[in-house]
Amino acid sequence: MQHGDEHYTVRLAHLYPTLMNLYGDRGNIIALRRRCEARGIGLEVTGLGLGEPFDTEAYDLVFIGGGQDREQRRIAEDLLTLKGESLRAASEDGMPMLTVCGGYQLFGRSYQPAAGEQLPGLGIFPMRSIHPGEDASRCIGNVEARWQGGTLVGFENHGGRTYLEDGTTPLARVRAGYGNNGEDGTEGAVIGAVFGTYLHGSLLPKNPAFADHLIRLALRHHYGAEVSLPPLDDALERRAHADAARVARSDAAAARRARPLFARLVRR
Ligand code: GLN
């Protein structure tokens, strides 16, 4: 795990760490740190808040967490005007990025919040997100989604619905839960090495294969070479993953059982 005489290092830009941090999103950074350090890889984390530009040369990996409409409104202009051009350039250059929920929505073309004006997004993902309004039901619960021969698990809580444009690849396919919009079975989006998802929870501690995928992509971006990661003892992570999947499936089964009963009550 050495590169010449140097140890490997991953330089992570954490966008708006205080404003965009819901449902354990920060746990993603902790998981990345643990999985890097266990292999002797350094993880340098730089928080970039309002007023701080994004330097494409300074990072190998980008993370942005979720935030409610209010926070999204606070960061949207800064994201677009101060960081947008360089984030778009970095994404085209293959820099891996993980964007979650409110952050994910703003990496699309636009987000229409529950109230007020539409927010323009970075347009990295060809998709639009629309919140149908405060009275609409939210997409809340545990999710299991098929991803690369395995599954991703997590917790979602969003009012906005995301619609991918034709040809945009979803990150995963929903098995239990809502995902992008509760209608078309898609969850998240992927373009190049940029990933969007509605999964909080935290996502990466329970999905170690996805965490390692990001670390590998970040090292490839930094060093221009494939780095193989020695396996870790993931017994706990696998248990957390299996538990979350079980909860998601039993929630989905309970929702299915409740549906005819609800329909009967409504008809009466
Ligand atoms: N404000 C967005 C929504 O409700 C995002 C919420 C979130 O990041 N959890 O759709």
Is 0.75 topped by the overall pTM?
yes
Rounded distance between C-alpha atoms, residue 170 and residue 228, angstroms: 26
Which of 69, 98, 127 for mutating ligand 1's site (highest number of atoms within 8 Å of CB)? Answer: 69
Ligand 1 pocket member 102 (CB < 6 A): yes
Rounded distance between C-alpha atoms, residue 139 and residue 160, angstroms: 8
Percentage, residues of the chain above pLDDT 90: 90
How remote is the CA of residue 57 from the centroid of ligand 1, in Å? 30
pLDDT, the chain, mean: 94
Predicted pLDDT of residue 58 = 98
Residues designated as active site: 101, 200
pLDDT at residue 267 tops 80: no
Ligand 1 pocket member 159 (CB < 6 A): yes
Rounded distance between C-alpha atoms, residue 164 and residue 167, angstroms: 8
Q: What is the pLDDT of residues 100-152, one digit of tens each?
A: 999 999 999 999 999 999 999 999 999 999 999 999 999 999 999 999 999 99
Ligand 1 pocket member 22 (CB < 6 A): yes
**CA 228 remoteness from chain centre:** 24
State the sign of the Cα–Cα–Cα–Cα dihedral 59, 29, 94, 128. negative
- 2-267 maps to which CATH number? 3.40.50.880
Domain boundaries, the chain: 2-267
Q: What is the pLDDT of residues 189-208, one digit of tens each?
A: 999 999 999 999 789 999 99
pLDDT at residue 5 tops 50: no
CA-based nearest residue to 200, from 11, 13, 31, 10: 31
